[in-house]
């Protein structure tokens, strides 16, 4: 005997339905407003029991779908081999960085001061105080975050990636600073990796992306708030 619709929706709620069962349930939810309401109600009860909501928000799914239907929104096409292309790209970029690092290393060690003055990275400003070099700027950010700057990576267009370690927890995080504006596609792509803020420095666009493999989302949000709070000061 087949399970009732409620029985099967309960399993769907827990992610415990087979592909075939899931496909059937999607059709049934879409076909019957009654079943859709039941699905919404079951989700609300679950959220209330697990305290995921502290008030009872309304259902926004219909607005989202209406918006998707009414406008000319189309899904972006991502080719299957995009990931391998990205890997090739990063491999190439890493190679270039490594070569640059090897070439520049003697100068960086001997003439740290000259590195500061010849750096090609545009300087940011903290409030109204100009910062003489990006290295000291990045170190300052690290201090504000109670972390230490471990490594700076230089990428194309003068962009940089600064790698930090939190002093007390030893967790590492990355600050990627892009000194240019990004296309909508690149903005969205970047927004799925860490916390990103698009801002201005010296009237020029700056994109700051904070990411970490060791800090969860909530931690990243708190960290990003600390960065921007301190930049403001």
- Decide whether 160 or 201 has the Cβ nearer to another protein: 201
* Phi, psi torsion values for 167, nearest 5 degrees: -60, -50
| Contact residue for another protein among 1, 7, 129, 170 (CB under 8 A) | 7
Can you read off the two tokens belonging to residue 166?
Answer: 């939190």
210 CB neighbour count, 10 Å cutoff: 22
With beta carbons less than 8 A apart as the criterion, state whether 107 and 114 touch: yes
CA distance 163 to 11: 43
- Decide whether 17 or 119 has the Cβ nearer to another protein: 17
Q: Does the footprint of another protein cover residue 88 (CB under 8 A)? A: no
- Stretch binding another protein (CB under 8 A), from 1-9, 95-103, 109-117, 135-143: 1-9
Give residues 129-168 in contact with another protein (rule: CB under 8 A). none
| Contact residue for another protein among 32, 34, 81, 82 (CB under 8 A) | 82
| Contact residue for another protein among 10, 119, 133, 144 (CB under 8 A) | 10
Give residues 28-47 in contact with another protein (rule: CB under 8 A). 29-30, 36, 39-47
# of chain residues touching another protein (CB under 8 A)? 87
- Stretch binding another protein (CB under 8 A), from 20-28, 98-106, 107-115, 145-153: 20-28
């Amino acid at each position: 005997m087949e399970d009732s619709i409620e029985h099967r929706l309960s399993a769907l709620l827990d992610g415990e339905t087979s592909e075939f069962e899931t496909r059937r349930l999607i059709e049934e939810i879409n076909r019957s407003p009654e079943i859709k309401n039941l699905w919404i109600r079951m989700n609300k009860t679950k959220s209330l029991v697990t305290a995921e909501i502290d008030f009872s928000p309304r259902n926004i799914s219909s607005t989202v779908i209406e918006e998707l239907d009414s406008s000319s929104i189309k899904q972006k096409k991502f080719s299957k081999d995009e990931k391998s292309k990205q890997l090739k790209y990063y491999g190439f970029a890493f190679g270039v960085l490594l070569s640059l690092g090897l070439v520049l290393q003697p100068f960086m060690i001997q003439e740290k001061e000259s590195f500061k003055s010849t750096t090609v990275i545009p300087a940011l400003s903290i409030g109204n105080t100009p910062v003489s070099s990006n290295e000291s700027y990045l170190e300052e950010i690290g201090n504000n975050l109670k972390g230490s700057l471990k490594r700076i990576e230089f990428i194309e267009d003068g962009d940089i990636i600064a790698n930090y370690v939190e002093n007390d927890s030893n967790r590492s995080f990355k600050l990627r600073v892009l000194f240019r504006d990004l296309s909508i596609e690149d903005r969205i792509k970047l927004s799925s990796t860490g916390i990103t803020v698009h801002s201005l420095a010296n009237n020029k666009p700056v994109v700051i992306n904070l990411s970490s493999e060791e800090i969860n989302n909530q931690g990243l949000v708190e960290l990003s708030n600390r960065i921007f709070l301190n930049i403001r000061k």
